A and B are shown apart, each in its own frame.
Chain A
Amino acid sequence: MAGAKHSQAMFFQARAGEKIRNKVLQKALQKAKPLFVGKRAKAMAALPEDGFEFEALRSACVDIRNRVLGDLDVWLELFEEKAKATGAEVLWARDGDEICDLVIDVARRHGVTKATKSKSMLSEEAHLNEALAAAGIRPVETDLGEYIIQLAGETPSHIIAPAVHKTIEEVEALFAEEHGRPLETRTSADIPAMTREAREVLRQHFLSADMGITGANFLIAETGSAALVTNEGNGRMVTTLPRVHVVVTGIEKIVPTLDDFATLMRLLPRSATGQTISNYVSLLTGTKQAGDSDGPEKTVFILVDNGRANLLGSAYQEMLRCIRCGACMNHCPVYFSLGGHAYGWVYPGPMGSVLTPLYTGIENALDLPHASTGCNQCGTVCPVRIPLPGLMHRLREEQVERGLRPLGESFALKAWAWLAGKPRLYRWVVRRASRYLNWLADDSGRIRILGMAPGWTAGRDLSVPAGKTFHEQYAARKRA
C-alpha cells in the first residue's frame, strides 16, 4: 500500500518504550490531558442549557454521515458539479504521490514559489511538504502548532494540537534560533508574546505567498463549498490572500447540505476543544468574483482516496464517519502515555490504531490494534459513535485469520483453550499452578519476577494466595 513506505508503525513497541522514558514529553502530556478532557466535559454538560441533548445530536450526526457514505459516489458527483459551477477546478487523487504531483503541477502552472498552509492531515498522508520543497516550492505552515513542528522538523503528534508534545522551553529554543534572538526563560505568561513573534514572521509569508493550501473539515455538496473550522485566523489568510487556493481533502468529507454542516458543527468543536463554536468557521465557495474584495483567482479541489474507497461496504465502513475531532485520542489512556509519534504514521490514538493498518496495510501495523486496553473511553466520547474498540477487535480477528500473529502466541492460546475445554484436567493444572505460584512467592506472598509474564512483573508485583484454589475450597466446604 502507498502509505506503507512512510509508516513506522511496525516499531510501535520500541517507540513506545522511548516515549515512556522521555521525561520532557511525559510532562507535556500530563499537562495537556486534563485540559482536553475537562473542556469537552464542560461543553457537553452545558448542552442542555443550549437546548440540545448529546445522544440526540449524536444520532443526527451519525445519520448524516451514514447517508453520505451510503451513496458516496452520488454525493461526490454532485459536489464536483456544484464546485465547477462556482469556477473551481476539481481533481482526483488516488494516493499520496498523486496528490503531490497534482499540487506541484498546479503550482507550476501558476508560477508559484511559496505556498502558505493551514493544517491538513491529508498533506501529512502525502508527505506534501517534502515533495513541494523538492520541486522548489517553499511550504510554510501557518497554524501555530504546525509552524512549531515545521521548525523542529517533526510531524504532528495530535490531529488538532500538532505540537502538544512540546514544552514551552522547547518552543522557546526553536523560536530563539529561528527568529535570531537570544534565548529567554519563558513561562505560560509569555505565550501571548511568543505568539505575537510567530505572527510577525508569518505575516510576511501570508503577504508574499502565491498559493494557499488547506484541508477541509467538510465539503458541502449542495453548494460546492469547503468548510474550514479554525481558531487562529490563519486559515482565512491562507485562503484569501494568495492568488491560488488548493483544497486537499478526503473523499469521505462530504456532507449533503449546509443544514447538515450546521448539525455536525454542534458536536465538532465541543468534542474537539470544548468550544460551542470555533473562533473561525469559513465557508469557501468558488473563486473571487467581480465586486469581491478578496479571494483567490483560482480554486482547486483535490479529492483524495488513499485507501478510503476500500473501506466502503467493508466491516470498517463506520470509520469513514470520522469528523477528525480528536476526542478519541484525548480520552485514550494509551495515547496519553505515549503521545502521537509512537503510533508511527499520520493518525495517532484509537483512530490511528484503526486507520493506520487499513491505509498502510494490516501486516505493516500489527501492534496497533492490540495497543488498547479495550476501555472504550474513545467509543463513549466519539461524536459519530464509531465503535473504535470493535473495529480494533475486527482487525485483531483479521490478523488471526491471515496467520499474522506470532506462532508462540497462537500456540499458547490454542493449548490454553484446549485445556479450558477439559474441566478435570484444567482443575488439576490450576491446582499445580496455584502451588507453583505459591512456591515462587516471597514471605509477604508476592511474586516480583515471573518468567512467563516478564512484562507484568517488570512494573508490578503479583500477590498470590497462601491457600488453595476456589474449587478446592468449595469442594472441601461441600464435604464439611
Chain B
Amino acid sequence: MRLALYVTCLVDLIRPSVGMASLRLLEAAGCEVIVPESQTCCGQPAWSAGNRPLAAELAKKAISELEGYDYVVIPSGSCTDQVRNVYPQLLADDPVWAPRAQQLAARTFELTTFLADVLKVELPLADFAGSVTYHDSCKGLRGLGIKRQPRELLLKVRGLTLDEMADCEECCGFGGAFSVKFGDISTQIVDRKCESIAKVGADAVVGGDLGCLINIEGRLRRRGDETTRVLHIAEVLAGEES
C-alpha cells in the first residue's frame, strides 16, 4: 500500500514533530509512505477568506500531486475536511477537475480515521505515563465525524488514562484567520476551553488539529499554566523519537 503523507503547512513550520510522528506511525503499520515534496498548503486560508479563485488554484495543485496514491493521510481534521468536503464543491463546475477532486476526496483520510477505520492493524504504540483529555476539533468532529477514532487509539496506549473535560466538543476559538482578525473574541473563547482543561486537571491536552493546539497552548501559557502539556495525537501514539 502506497500512501502519501500530507503534513500540512502549519506542521511544517510550527510543529515538525507531528509530521515525523505521523510518518513513524504509518511506517510502523507497514505502509509505504511517501511525502510528496512539492506539497505546500491545501488552500484553506484562501477558501475561508472567500477567495474562490485562489482556493481553486491551490486545490488543483494539491490534487495533481496527491492523486497517484492508494491513500492520502493528513494529520489534521480541518485540512482533511478541505480535501474531502471542500475540493469537490469548489471544483464542481469544472468537467476536468470535478471527477479528480471527487476521486481524491474518497481516498483522503485524517490520520486517526485512517489508523482506526481503514488500516485497522495493531500498532506498536509508545507508552504514555499520565492522564490526557481530548479536545474535539470542529472540522474533524462536525465535518468528518471524528469522535470515536482518536479515543479508541488513545485507550490502547499503555499507561494512559483518558479524562474527558466538560464541553470537549466546544470550539477552542481558533478558526484560522479568525484568531488573528478577532484576537480578543478568540481569546475569550479559548479562555473557556482553558478553564475546562484546568478543571479536569489532566497532564496533557491532546487533539488532532495543530491550529487548535497552538491556540490552546498559547493561551494556557499566557495564563501561567506552564505544566499542562499540549500534544498532537500523533505525538502521543508514536512517542518521542528514540
Contacts and interface: CB of A to CB of B under 8 A. Distances in A.
> What's the dominant secondary structure at chain B's contact region?
helix
A459 interface: yes
Interface string A359-375: 00000000001111111
Contacts of B57: 417, 421
> What's the dominant secondary structure at chain A's contact region?
helix
Contact of A471 (B12, B15, B173): B12
A374 B43 contact: no
B216 to A, nearest CB: 9
A377 B13 contact: no
Interface string A331-342: 001100110000
Contacts of B7: 470
Given A376-B138, A460-B219, A20 B40 contact: no
B202 interface: no
B102 interface: no
Contacts of B13: 430, 433-434, 437, 469
Contacts of A459: 183-184, 186-187, 190, 218-219, 222
Interface of A: 13, 16-17, 20, 333-334, 337-338, 369-377, 379-380, 393, 395-400, 405, 409-410, 413-414, 416-417, 419-421, 423, 426, 430, 433-434, 437, 446, 453-465, 467-474, 477
Interface string B15-57: 1110110010000000000010111110101101111101001
Nearest to A426: B40
B179 A455 contact: yes
A336 to B, nearest CB: 8
Contacts of A468: 16
A20 B190 contact: no
A374 B139 contact: yes
Given A421-B58, A433-B13, A470-B19, A374 B182 contact: no
B103 interface: no
Given A400-B51, A423-B40, A460-B215, A465 B171 contact: no
A455 B138 contact: no
Interface in B139-167: 139, 142-143
Given A377-B171, A396-B49, A414-B54, A458 B180 contact: no
B239 to A, nearest CB: 16
Contacts of B12: 430, 469-471
Given A20-B185, A473-B20, 6 more contacts: A369-B50, A413-B45, A416-B46, A460-B187, A465-B16, A474-B20
Contact of B218 (A409, A455, A460, A469): A460
Which of A333, A467, A469 has the most chain B CB within a 10 Å cutoff? Answer: A333
Contact of A417 (B58, B179, B188, B219): B58
